[in-house]
Amino acid sequence: MKYLSSFVRFWVDFIIGDDRTAAVVLALVATALLSSLKLAWAVLPLFVLVFLGISLRRAALMT
């Protein structure tokens, strides 16, 4: 079981890393839901900018 969890943890870290996974999924879902609107393209960049700021802030505080 320990090996299995280490294996899963390695691949999650390898593929996702320290990204805000939930935010990425949420941004894609929001874009898909709003895709009929003309401004749907703005959702993803906005999420990226906001969550990048949050990640940087968190990392700076931990340093």
Residues that bind other proteins (CB under 8 A): 28-29, 31-32, 34-35, 38, 40-41, 43-45, 48-49, 52-53, 56, 59-60, 63
CA atoms within 13 Å, Cβ hemisphere of 29: 6
The closest alpha carbon to 45, from 26, 27, 32, belongs to 27
Judged by CB, which is closer to other proteins: 9, or 58? Answer: 58
Length of the chain: 63
Judged by CB, which is closer to other proteins: 8, or 49? Answer: 49
Judged by CB, which is closer to other proteins: 16, or 53? Answer: 53
Q: Cα 56 vs. chain centroid, distance in angstroms?
A: 13
